[in-house]
Structure 1
Amino acid sequence: MDTSRTARLFLGLNAAFSLLIGIDLVFAPAFAAELIFLEPAGWQTLVLRILGAGLIVFALDLILMATDRFVTKGQVLFISALDLGWILGSGALLIFANTLFSGFGAVAIVAVAVFVAVFALGQYFGAQRIVASLSQASVRSAGEKLLASVSRTVEAPKDVVWKVMTDHPRYADVADNISKVEIVAGNGEGMQRRCYGLKGENWLETCDLFDEGHAFGFRIHTEADDYPYPISKLHGEWSVVPMEEGSKFTIDIEATPKGNFLTRTLFKAAAKRQFRKVLADLADAWAARMEREARA
């Protein structure tokens, strides 16, 4: 369940509004100065252009937050606090420096502050609805590698969790990027399975770690002709440990991107958010099945 939707909606509206004003101030500061200020002065266009550049940077940051399903309550409240600072600053300008502004300028400052207040309130109340995901996913760079991990505690005994984790054909039911999984050969370490992507592409995966009831790992054969991702090496490890109440499973992924330094850097930047989403969704879907089977 996406509990951050309302907060991200208002973050997005805030971003669009800030970006629009920022672009206007950067590219037409002289025109804006004529409308806003009562008397012309040399410093006005420079100040407005700097303000516009700041708003554009602010808007770009908001766009990243608005498109991040895992945005935190604290992050959203911080933006609302910045918006409050804008509102208070606008009020201070109108009280202590009102002689600088034309009638239109004063109205424009008030109008902008009203819009900002709406965004701040929407973000604030939206932040109250945010609940941290039970699937704790993280992605980080380590040299040339990308390390991704997700953990989830479930109300299911270890044997049920292990049974679900090792039900390889039904792995496709919980992995959004896989349409089908077939066991090709073997069992335990050395076992091979074939995974199919959403467009029919397929690749082999070989089990290179198997600790009955605890953990298993797969090396993905990324050298397949139609392997769909720009990754030269990929390894995944799945494990489960018992808890006082239920169990905790973890998925660890280690990926090495293909290409030169620039393409690897761009891939890491783009993949971090996508990996986190894929792993969290996978863990959520797996947890639902594990708890359902534990109750059966």
Structure 2
Amino acid sequence: MELHMKATLPLRAALTANAVFSLSSALLMLLVPEVVGRWLGIQAPGIFQLLAVGLVVFAAELIYQATRRRIATWRALLASATDFTWVVASIVLLSVFPRLFSPSGDLLVLAVAGAVFVFGAWQLWAAGHTHRTGEGGTYRHCIVVETNAPAQDLWQIVGSLGDIMRYMPSLKRSAVLDGKSPGVGAVRTCEDRAGKRWSEECTAYDPGRSFDVRFRTEAPDFPFPASVMRGGWKIMPSAAGSQVMVWWELTPKPRLLAPLILPLLALNADREFPRIIQRMAATAVGNAGGAQPPSNARVAARLVPTVC
């Protein structure tokens, strides 16, 4: 956990600095709009106030993310996209309306755009850094989902490697090659509804507890941008019932895209896997009770804001 917190410091610093800059700009436009108007060479207090409100909301989101225990890098990616949009909009505004501002106003708009670009680039780099494992070019994302299904019952579902398609709507099919039993050496093949196919070789299997896989990235049609990719599932008893940890480690291809690839992976995992695990838990509870539960069964699954 200490290493993870250290890895998040650059992103927390970037988000906080961006928030301070945004709030300072908002306060100027709210409290002294006439001064801002003189700097720009245009008096538009209504527009200044509207921009100020937007900046306050933006800064609040940045501060919220910077102070969370488990930082969401995909939301930092959205913040950078917003910053870059501001930069592009500033350049377009100066190009389309070259006489809208005074010469000093043009310089001010460009200076602000330059600062915003720095914040966006800083956040983008730091988002990738947050996922770094410290081992060469390897990056990691991990989630923990808590359910009210007993751990031993949930393992019966999770540990059945070939049945993953029953719980993941994006998959068209999944199976273990040659009908092998789940365990070290078993290979799970998957195909999603877009026609992408890949294989995962089980490298560790602890019955009732966990399994690890190695994605066969050497396959010529491997669909994901990684030269090396591993992952795993782990079931842990909890006071509520059980916690499921799912993790991925990969070397992005190309590595320069890590600040984009990892936050997007995090977005998909944080959004989809709690629902996947909830479906698994519903089946586990139904099997334990002797019947498959209805679709509205009261089986809870929530993303735990913890570091793993």
Partner of 2:159: 166
Percent identical: 21
Q: Who is 2:150 aligned against? A: 157
Aligned residues: 192
The reply to whether residue 267 of structure 1 matches residue 261 of structure 2 is yes
2:221 counterpart SS class: coil
Letter in 1 for 2:273: L
Which residue identity is paired with 2:55?
A: F
1:205 positional shift: 1.1
TM-score, scaled to structure 2: 0.50
Residue 58 (structure 1) aligned with residue 55 (structure 2): yes
Per-residue CA distance 1:189-211 (angstroms, 9 max, x = gap): 11111111222222221100011
Change (3 A) 1:60 1:228: farther
Name the structure 2 match of 1:283. Answer: 277
Distance 1:59 1:290, change over 3 A: farther
Could you tell me how far apart the structure 1 residues matched to 2:138 and 2:224 are? 15
TM-align CA RMSD: 4.2
SS at match of 1:224: coil
Runs of 5+ unmatched residues, structure 1: 1-35, 72-138
Q: Which residue number corresponds to residue 222 of structure 1?
A: 217
Question: Hey, what's the Cα distance between the residues in 1 that align with 2:198 and 2:213?
Answer: 12
TM-score (norm 1): 0.52
Structure 1 residue 141 corresponds to structure 2 residue 135:
no
Whole-angstrom distance in 1 between the partners of 2:229 and 2:39 = 56
Indicate the residue corresponding to 1:258 in structure 2: 253
Q: 1:156 to 1:199 in 2, by over 3 A?
A: same
Aligned twin of 2:41:
45
For 1:77, the equivalent position in structure 2 comes to none
CA–CA distance in structure 2, aligned partners of residues 208 and 199 of structure 1: 27
Q: Deviations over 1:112-165 (max 9, x none)?
A: xxxxxxxxxxxxxxxxxxxxxxxxxxx951153332222233333333111101
* Structure 2 gap ranges (5+): 1-32, 69-128, 291-308
Work out the CA distance in 1 between the residues paired with 2:197 and 2:233: 21
1:48 Cα offset (Å): 5.2
The superposition leaves residues 26-71 of structure 1 with CA deviations (integer Å, 9 ceiling, x where unpaired) of xxxxxxxxxx98xxx7446367599489559739949x89xx9xx9
Distance 1:257 1:48, change over 3 A: farther
2:201 pairs, out of 200, 206, 215, with: 206
Give the Cα separation in 2 of the matches to 1:61 and 1:273: 19
- AA aligned to 2:188 is R
Closer/same/farther in 2, CA of residues 51 and 170 from structure 1, 3 Å limit: same
Pair 156,278 (structure 1): closer, same or farther in 2 beyond 3 Å: closer
User: Aligned to 1:228, what secondary structure does the other structure show?
Assistant: coil
Q: Does structure 2 retain, via aligned residues, the 8 Å contact 1:156–1:294?
A: no
Q: Secondary structure at the match of 1:179?
A: strand
Does 1:247 find its partner at 2:237?
Answer: no
What secondary structure sits across from 1:213 in the alignment? coil
CA offset digits 1:185-241 (Å, max 9, x no partner):
433111111111222222221100011211111111122222222122221111112
Q: Output the amino acid matched with 1:183.
A: V
Equivalents in 2 of 1:156, 1:42: separation in Å?
Answer: 64
